Amino acid sequence: MRTAVITGGGSGIGQAIAMRLASEGCHAVLLDFSDEAGRDTVKLIIKDGGSAHYINTDVSDTESVKNAFAQINQVDVLVNNAGIASIGDLENCPPEELDRVYGVNVKGVYHCLYFAVPKMVAAGEGVILNLASIASKIGIADRFAYSMSKGAVLTMTLSVARDYIDKGIRANCICPARVRTPFVEGYLADNFSDQERPAMEAKLSAAQPIGRMGKPEEIAELAAFLCSDKSKFITGSAYDIDGGFTLLR
């Protein structure tokens, strides 16, 4: 049985990917900072006949990630999904905010790569999938820190793909547009009244020419393909999954 490690696997896109990989026969190891989310997702996977366990992990903390991977003997697949959002342009991004976003979105990916790749090298094979963003490629208003971090995810993907291609390791990334996740739901609930919410939902949906936000399960569909043997000839690639967002840019 292949072991797939999914960061941020307790909710949203990470949960959808963990459940999909488990349904395809992987043992899913969920790394998440939320005990409730991590354990609930493990229960869902086991209820569906899959195999999974959860390790409480703060991807921004070196020792936390080191401890997590010390408990994982085999890493066949690594999905770097954990991430946080940030809204604001350069002038509205103080050093503390840049550090906060960098700690999770950039250093968190680095940490997991750092501790997982040697296990893959020893095994002679492995698959890495990083969750980047359309913000990795195009300018999006008021997303300075977030775009910085996702640009780094894209280039880390390319670097690892180049350096480890002769070690049997593939590395790709996915670049989604807006996906309807618990974060988006929380953003709408926290910042808009019941009267304002429908208009904002319509605006967020209309940003994708296809007319709606993506679904976590749709991202998981692409992720499962890129983590499978069906994509053995693919490495160093960044896949847009954006409802046409980049089409008109």
Q: Tell me the per-residue pLDDT of 14-37, one tens digit each, with 9 for 90 and over.
A: 999 999 999 999 999 999 999 999
* Residue pair 142/89 in contact by the 8 Å Cβ criterion: yes
Helix axes 144-163, 107-123, angle to 10 degrees: 10
Q: What is the reported pTM?
A: 0.95
Judgement on whether residues 34 and 149 belong to the same structural domain of the protein: yes
Judgement on whether residues 115 and 198 belong to the same structural domain of the protein: no
Phi, psi of 28 (to 5 degrees): -90, 125
Judgement on whether residues 97 and 152 belong to the same structural domain of the protein: yes
* Residue pair 57/207 in contact by the 8 Å Cβ criterion: no
Judgement on whether residues 195 and 77 belong to the same structural domain of the protein: no
User: Does residue 244 fall inside a structural domain?
Assistant: no
- Structure confidence at residue 187 (pLDDT): 72
Work out the average pLDDT over 44-71: 98
Provide the number of structural domains found in the chain: 2
- Residue 247, pLDDT > 90, answer no
Measured between alpha carbons, how far is 174 from 51 in angstroms, rounded to an integer? 25
Least confident piece of the model among 54-63, 213-222, 224-233, 239-248? 239-248
Say which CATH number the domain at 78 has.
Answer: 3.40.50.720
DSSP annotation string for 190-238: HHS-TTTHHHHHHHHHHTSTTSS-B-HHHHHHHHHHHTSGGGTT--S-E
Residue, of 200 and 83, whose pLDDT is higher:
83
Selection from 9, 58, 15, 51 nearest residue 30 by Cα: 9
- Structure confidence at residue 194 (pLDDT): 86
Q: Tell me the per-residue pLDDT of 91-139, one tens digit each, with 9 for 90 and over.
A: 999 999 999 999 999 999 999 999 999 999 999 999 999 999 999 999 9
The encoded tokens of residue 89 equal: 């342009």
- Structure confidence at residue 185 (pLDDT): 82
- Structure confidence at residue 70 (pLDDT): 98
Residue, of 245 and 182, whose pLDDT is higher:
245
Judgement on whether residues 102 and 205 belong to the same structural domain of the protein: no
Work out the average pLDDT over 54-81: 98
- Structure confidence at residue 110 (pLDDT): 98
146 flagged as catalytic: yes
CB neighbours (10 Å) of residue 77?
26
Its domain, for residue 202, covers 180-213
Judgement on whether residues 106 and 204 belong to the same structural domain of the protein: no
- Residue 181, pLDDT > 90, answer no
Question: Which band of pLDDT confidence, cut at 50, 70 and 90, is reported for residue 155?
Answer: very high
Measured between alpha carbons, how far is 93 from 53 in angstroms, rounded to an integer? 37
Question: Which band of pLDDT confidence, cut at 50, 70 and 90, is reported for residue 193?
Answer: confident
86-109: b or e for each residue (b if 16 or more CB lie within 10 Å)? Answer: beeeeeebeeeebeebbbbbbbbb
- Structure confidence at residue 200 (pLDDT): 87
Which of these is catalytic: 102, 110, 114, 146?
A: 146
Selection from 15, 110, 118 nearest residue 73 by Cα: 118
Work out the average pLDDT over 72-97: 96
Judgement on whether residues 207 and 224 belong to the same structural domain of the protein: no
Judgement on whether residues 132 and 194 belong to the same structural domain of the protein: no
